[in-house]
Amino acid sequence: MNATPAYFADTAFWIALAHRYDQHHTQASAWGKYLIQQKAVILTAEAVLWEWMNALAAAGTRRTTAEGYRRCHQDPNIEVVPFASDRIAEAVRIYEGRADKDWSLTDCLSFLVMEQHQIPRALTTDRHFQQAGFEAVLLVDPPTTA
């Protein structure tokens, strides 16, 4: 029996998917279609969704982004990991402990969530995920389906 594939959705994915002028929109859309076909589970973090909304807070994108945020919370194939004080404290420890990296606190939280859920693949173009030992799958085409 095949396990349901799972991916972590980073801010880069949500921005590229929602913003048709984003340089990675075509790639994100292709991955979105693939994930639907595969009935994949998408894991993301509340912090990632907030970062996405902050990035697209301009008047022209605000309404669409807010609707996307609501859809993420309503979609049964998307799990949004909520803020939790113990998780945030651990993300701060990672952030502080990796002074050699330019990882954001949201990156550190994302890495922690991915480790906790044993998800090796991130829907992102952010090479920081690769530095942390994960796959940044938006840098490649999705697998072809028969």
Q: Which two tokens stand for residue 128?
A: 């920081």
Domains of the chain, start order: 6-139 (3.40.50.1010)
- If DSSP states are collapsed to H, E and C, what string results for 37-88? HHCCEEEEEHHHHHHHHHHCCCHHHHHHHHHHHHHHHHCCCEEEECCCHHHH
Q: What pLDDT was estimated at residue 4?
A: 79
Residue 1 pLDDT level (bands cut at 50, 70, 90): very low
Q: What is the pTM for the complete model shown?
A: 0.94
Residue 19 pLDDT level (bands cut at 50, 70, 90): confident
Q: What pLDDT was estimated at residue 85?
A: 97
User: What is the DSSP pairing of strand 6-9 with strand 121-123?
Assistant: parallel
Mean pLDDT in the chain?
Answer: 94
Q: Taking 60 as the threshold, does the pLDDT of residue 66 lie above it? A: yes
